[in-house]
Amino acid sequence: MVLRAGRKAGALRFGAGPCDSPPESGAYAPTMQRDGIVDDGRRFRGTGWLILLVAVLCLTVPTEGEAQFVTVGAGALFTKDNVDPVVELLVTAPPLVYDFRPYLTTSWVLDEIEPTFISAAERPIWRTSHHFTSLGAGVLWLQPANYTPYPILVSTTAVFPPIPRTMLVGIGSVQPFQDWSWSIVAKVAVMLVMGK
């Protein structure tokens, strides 16, 4: 849902990633080579946290009959300086305490092979039969930083047009500890799995 990085002309650019400027600015400076490979010991730690998070999410996915859904969507990622095509796969768990719904989103931009992951939980704040808006928080796992986690605040609005299993979705997020870097994803999503 939030995304984050891409390469242009051999340099790194950040949208809703660790900062909106190249690492040389000093705002964010991991050990990073021009080809995006990081070798500073964080790679395996970040990957381990991600694997643990996916395992926990899979354990919370309900048995038949409980609320869950999986969607695939395509649209555009808007950041301070860029607009990129984006494809996303969303996997949700059933609502938990206080109606918070945990989810995991895998996102790809056009010029990146490795995905960015977003794990979060959101609670509906406005819901009708034709749309919902939710608000929550989570973690952005940014690939150029070898999936080091970055906290985010996130909100999703989905509108259900009169087309079966289809949603128009807008997702906004900010990183409060990274100079309030922001991103917006606007996409069309199709429901692949839907439980009751």
What mean pLDDT is predicted for residues 36-60? 49
Percent above pLDDT 90 for the chain: 52
pLDDT (0 to 100) of residue 49: 56
pLDDT, one tens digit per residue, over 66-102 is 478 899 999 999 999 999 999 999 999 988 888 899 9
Question: In the prediction, which pLDDT does 25 show?
Answer: 41
* C-alpha pair distances (Å), 111 with each of 30, 31, 56: 21, 22, 30
CA distances to 24, 25, 53, 141 from 31, rounded to whole Å, are 11, 14, 25, 17
Say whether pLDDT at 1 is over 60.
no
pTM exceeds 0.75 = no
3-state secondary structure of 44: helix
User: Which parts of 1-130 are beta strand (E)?
Assistant: 5-8, 11-14, 68-78, 83-92, 101-109, 116-127
pLDDT greater than 80 at residue 137: yes
Asked if pLDDT for residue 186 goes beyond 90, the answer is yes
Q: What is the pLDDT of residue 50?
A: 55
Summarize the confidence of residues 103-115 as an average pLDDT.
Answer: 90
Longest dimension (CA), the chain: 51
Q: Would you state the pLDDT for residue 192?
A: 92
pLDDT of residue 96: 86
- Three-class SS of residue 117? strand
Strands (E), 51-115: 68-78, 83-92, 101-109
pLDDT at 43 over 60: no
**Mean pLDDT within 128-155:** 91
Q: Which helix (H) or strand (E) holds 184?
A: strand 181-195
% of the chain beyond a pLDDT of 70: 64
